[in-house]
Amino acid sequence: MLKRALLGLLAVGLLSQSVQAEQAKIILSTENFPPYNMATNGKNFAREDSIEGIAVEVVQEMFKRAGVEYYLALRFPWDRVYKMALEKPNHGVFSTARTPEREKEFKWVGPIGPDDWVLLAKADSALVVNSLEEAKAYTIGAYKGDAIEEYLLQQGIEPKSSFNDKTNVDKLQKGQIDLWATGDPAGRYLAKQEGVTGLKTVLRFNQAELWLALNKETDDAIVSKLQGALDQMRSEGFVDKTLNKYLQ
């Protein structure tokens, strides 16, 4: 009886350890947001090694150094990806802007890379815009659910938003929008992929950085390990080297 009881306790202990290990595994989601995160085949769903980009390489190295297990998937649309990280324990999302409105909704690791907010016009555009107030006179394209769209709405601007930021490149070229509200360098990189170069920066209206957002129930010890690993990577030049690999 004693032997059977001990075996039962051992089984329970092993099951508990297994559950804890599974709970510690972070489920990471991202989206097509070149050059930071993108599917190698250009599609809207990919897993693990089929995902590449600046943020992907930084995040993968960060988790490896921190010794934290993870699963990575690229999904669509962004609203759903964001909501998963917001509502589900041990979930995270990147790359996303760390705004005052989002500050208390997640635990943050970063920054991963720069992402200034700009209004872009066609290369031959003669538009001159000195403020967002002046920009209200024009049709502005944005990415639905993105922090930039949220900011524009707060400023009283109703952008003509698309579910895929790539669509805005085509809209701009066809004259369906006058200006494209996007990130820099992400917007230029995306446009280049679509064969569009020389876009004109009409207004730079915010300086932002991209972060990894983790569900607020994520263990603080995990967050600390990840941030420590990223800080070390930055001091060693890993982050800058990865940025230059894609942007130069």
Residue 48 backbone dihedrals phi, psi, to 5 degrees: 40, -110
Which residues does 72 contact at the CB level (< 8 Å), separation at least 6? 28, 29, 30, 47, 48, 51, 56, 59, 60
* Number of alpha carbons in the 13 Å side-chain half-sphere of residue 72: 24
pLDDT higher than 90, residue 129: yes
pLDDT at 212: 98
Q: Write out pLDDT tens, residues 86-111.
A: 999 999 999 998 989 999 999 999 99
pLDDT (mean) for 124-148: 95
What letter does residue 201 receive in the DSSP assignment?
A: E
Whole-model pTM: value is: 0.72
pLDDT at 51: 97
E runs forming strands in the chain: 26-30, 38-39, 46-47, 51-52, 70-74, 91-97, 106-114, 116-121, 140-143, 160-162, 179-184, 200-206, 209-215
222, 239, 242, 229: which is closest to 69 by C-alpha?
222
Residue 165 backbone dihedrals phi, psi, to 5 degrees: -65, -25
- Joined together, the tokens standing for residue 38 give 């993108």
Rounded to whole angstroms, the Cα distance separating 235 from 241 reads 11
Q: Write out pLDDT tens, residues 40-90.
A: 998 889 999 999 999 999 999 999 999 999 999 999 999 999 999 999 999
